[in-house]
A and B are shown apart, each in its own frame.
Chain A
Amino acid sequence: NAGVTQTPKFRILKIGQSMTLQCAQDMNHNYMYWYRQDPGMGLKLIYYSVGAGITDKGEVPNGYNVSRSTTEDFPLRLELAAPSQTSVYFCASSPGVGAGSTDTQYFGPGTRLTVL
């Protein structure tokens, strides 16, 4: 099992550009999440998904979009990148069985994004 994988690892964007951060998991987990971690801070939830075709907003969704067409993939789209989106982005997944999201979340290695 590769677990949760994220690409790219690093990216520099110019203001106004768009990009998609890729996230995939091979553990057949139902739930997937996107977080951002600003320097010296904890993680904040951007979006989450409880299954293919179902997504919902987290704490800081503005400026982002997600889709979940398969169980395995949960891409995060940034439209019109802004300097405030400079951050490290983590994707996570959890089994979603029984206690649902209170399952342990397994994290990908992160994508470090800089917007200049």
Chain B
Amino acid sequence: AQKVTQAQTEISVVEKEDVTLDCVYETRDTTYYLFWYKQPPSGELVFLIRRNSFDEQNEISGRYSWNFQKSTSSFNFTITASQVVDSAVYFCALCNTGGFKTIFGAGTRLFVKA
């Protein structure tokens, strides 16, 4: 069975702090995709990153970085020098190759205080 666990329900930081959002997944398949989405207070879902299971290279995009470790089934997301605009709910998701069902974690709500 597939499962995505985001153990951190809410995180609160002060602006300019670094913050890491954890994501642990379970799947029996050897090929799969992992995603991160952002849901700001306005409610829409914004795609951040897609990573396939064969690519364990870390990725950096501006203040965002992702650490994929297949050995621990984790796909963690770090925001460096957080800003108030980063306040949102962040979802990690998993989809097996060839499947049509993306499984979402429960989300982590991030509060960034000025």
List A residues at the B interface (Cβ < 8 Å): 31, 33, 40-45, 48, 50, 56, 58-59, 88, 90, 92, 99-102, 104-110
How far apart are the CA atoms of A43 and B44 in the complex, in Å?
12
User: Which of B11-58 touch A at CB < 8 Å?
Assistant: 32-33, 35, 37, 43-45, 47, 50, 52
B→A interface (CB under 8 Å): 4, 32-33, 35, 37, 43-45, 47, 50, 52, 91, 93, 95-102, 104-107
CB atoms of B97 and A110 under 8 A apart: no
* A59–B106 CB distance below 8 A: no
Q: A102-B33, A104-B35, A104-B50 are in contact. Are A45 and B106 (CB under 8 A)?
A: no
The answer to whether residues A107 and B44 also contact, given A42-B106, A42-B107 and a CB cut-off of 8 A, is yes
Expressed in whole angstroms, the Cα–Cα distance for A3 and B98 within the complex equals: 24
Given contacts A104-B50, A109-B43, contact A58 B35 (CB under 8 A): no
Which A residues are in CB contact (< 8 Å) with B99? 100-102
Bound CA–CA A59/B64 (angstroms): 31
The reply to whether A107 and B45 contact each other, CB–CB distance below 8 Å, is yes
Whether the Cβ atoms of A102 and B106 lie closer than 8 Å is no
Q: In angstroms, how far is the closest chain A Cβ from the Cβ of B106?
A: 5
A110 engages B101 (CB within 8 Å)? no
- Checking B43, B45, B95, B100 against A50 with a beta-carbon cut-off of 8 angstroms, the contacting residue is B100
Q: Once the chains bind, are A101 and B102 in contact (CB under 8 Å)?
A: yes
Would B47 and A42 count as touching, CB distance under 8 A?
A: no
Question: What residues on B are CB-neighbors of A108 within 8 Å?
Answer: 44
Q: Are B43 and A102 in contact (CB under 8 A)?
A: no
With A48-B100, A50-B100, A59-B101 in contact, do A43 and B50 touch (Cβ < 8 Å)? no
Establish whether residues B100 and A101, one from each chain, have CB atoms under 8 Å apart when the complex forms. Answer: yes
* Distance, CA A59 to CA B106, complexed state (A): 15
Contact A45 B101 (CB under 8 A): yes
Check if A110 sits within 8 Å of B43, measured CB to CB. Answer: yes
Question: Could you list 7 further interchain pairs (A-B, Cβ under 8 angstroms) beyond the known A43-B104, A48-B101?
Answer: A41-B106, A88-B43, A99-B98, A100-B100, A101-B95, A102-B50, A107-B37
